[in-house]
Structure formats: C-alpha cells, structure tokens
Amino acid sequence: MKPAARLYVEAPLAPGAGVALTEGQAHYLRSVLRLEPGRRVLLFNGRDGEWLADLGELRKSGGVAVAVSQRRAQAPEPDLWLLFAPIKGDRIDTIAEKATELGAARLQPVMTRHTVVTRVNVERLQARAIEAAEQCERLTVPEIVEPRSLREALQGWPDGRRLFACAEAGPARPMAEVLAVGPRNAPSGLLVGPEGGFSPDELDLLRELAFVTAVGLGPRLLRADTAAIAALALWQALGGDGDRRPPQRIEN
C-alpha cells in the first residue's frame, strides 16, 4: 500500500528505530488523515535518507513510528542560498514554500533600505518549509536563518560562493545568459530585493563586489515573491539539478 504520509523527524533513522512523533504530527495523522496504528508512512530527517515506517500508538500528546527499511539513500543536494528582503503577509510564506520546493538549502532574510517589514517570524517560515519539504519529497529541510542587514550578509560572504543579485534597475545581464556558461551545482546565492527595489547605494555596493553578478529577469517588474521563484527555477534549471527527474516516478 502507498505510504499514507511523509513526515520530517529529527531522530536518527535505522532499522527498527522507534521515532517519537510530535503532538502536531500525531494530531495530523490521527485526526486529519484518520490513520490507525500499523499504517505505513515515510520518514526523513535530512541525514539518513527516506524510510518506510509503521505507525505505532497515536495519542493526543504525541505518537511513535518504527522505521522498517530505507527507501532512498541520502544524496547531495544543490548548495543554493536564497537571500530575500522580507515582505508582507502571505507572500513571505509563499517564498518559504516555493524556495523549499525549488531546492534552496538556506533562506536568509536580509534587511535592505526599502524593506518595510521589520519583524520576521522565523519559526513560522521554518514550519512552512518543513511542510513543503514533506510534500515535495526532498530529503532535507532548508535552514531558515535569522534576519541580517544586507551589508552584514555581504560582509560575511564565504569564499567560493557566487551571488546572483536580481536587479530591475541599472545594468544587468539576463540571468539565463549568465548561468549558461557557469559550472553546474556550484555553491551559489540568489538575492532578491523588496517591493521597492534596491536603493542606488545598495546597487553600487553590489556592483563593487567581485562575487556578485547583477542579473535581469526580463522586461516586466516582478513582485518580490515572483522574482524569488523565477530566479530559483532558473538557477535549478541551468545551474542546479533541474536535469534530474523525480525519483520513483520514472516508470509510471
């Protein structure tokens, strides 16, 4: 029978390992999906691959599942960071969800001059990312880090990682043209500004840095969430693992 759910857990996964399920997971399995003990589910923890597991007891306060066998081995994933200026409302949740589906490894909110939002609920974004990772069949969950200023993020930028800054104003090369000539799966970052765009001094700063390449996403002005999704999709297609197919579905 097809596994009835796919859950991210923190515990190690090994044959026979009992894995504690949180109150939220137990509630979801029992009251939303209406699953009984004995049903088969999938578990992953970001380190040990994906496991078939059998549900044990589900109580109000939590539950347990027992790992049976590994279905997919852990495999390297693209080393892609998304730096984005936080935006209002649902749109920031959209970024967390879509960035997860599109294989970002890390999400870094950055505060820029025209950023209107002052508080970022990192826990809420992390929950959304976990949900999206469970759904899209990733073997990892992206890390959502605490907001930093754009300047700080750039000052601490690691050697050997390029940063593609999506810029609507000023000179920039088409992102597809830039990515077409780069190596695949190189450590990379994408930077997307707020609805108001980057300020002129931010654009100047970005253009001074050797690891930054200003890239364009076409002639229309994209909302911040659209720009983030478009840039992620392009990077994966041209610079990441977009040449791979979903596992387990090739023969359907």
Rounded to a whole number of angstroms, the minimum distance from the CB of residue 173 to a copy of itself is: 9
Contact between 194 and a copy of itself per CB under 8 A: no
Structure tokens at 80: 């892609």
Segment near a copy of itself (CB under 8 A); pick from 53-61, 96-104, 123-131, 146-154: 96-104
Q: How many residues bind a copy of itself (CB under 8 A)?
A: 52
In this structure, the number of other CB atoms found within 10 A of the CB of residue 45 comes to 21
Contact between 200 and a copy of itself per CB under 8 A: yes
* Binding residue (CB under 8 A) for a copy of itself from 101, 109, 129, 163: 101
**Which residues lie closer than 8 Å to 228 by C-beta, 6 or more apart?**
82, 84, 95, 98, 99, 190, 192
* Binding residue (CB under 8 A) for a copy of itself from 11, 176, 186, 205: 176
Task: Name the percent of the chain in helix, strand, coil, to the closest 5.
Answer: 30, 25, 45
**Distance between CA atoms of residues 168 and 30, nearest Å:** 48
CA angle 84, 178, 232 (to 5 degrees): 35
* Binding residue (CB under 8 A) for a copy of itself from 170, 186, 187, 211: 170
| Comparison of 145 and 222: residue with beta carbon closer to a copy of itself | 222
Q: Are strands 173-174 and 50-59 parallel, antiparallel or unpaired?
A: unpaired
Contact between 193 and a copy of itself per CB under 8 A: no
* Binding residue (CB under 8 A) for a copy of itself from 1, 171, 201, 208: 171
**Distance between CA atoms of residues 75 and 47, nearest Å:** 9
- Which residues contact a copy of itself (rule: CB under 8 A)? 90, 94, 97-98, 101-103, 135-138, 168-172, 174-177, 180, 200, 203, 216-223, 226, 229-230, 232-234, 236-238, 240-247, 249-252
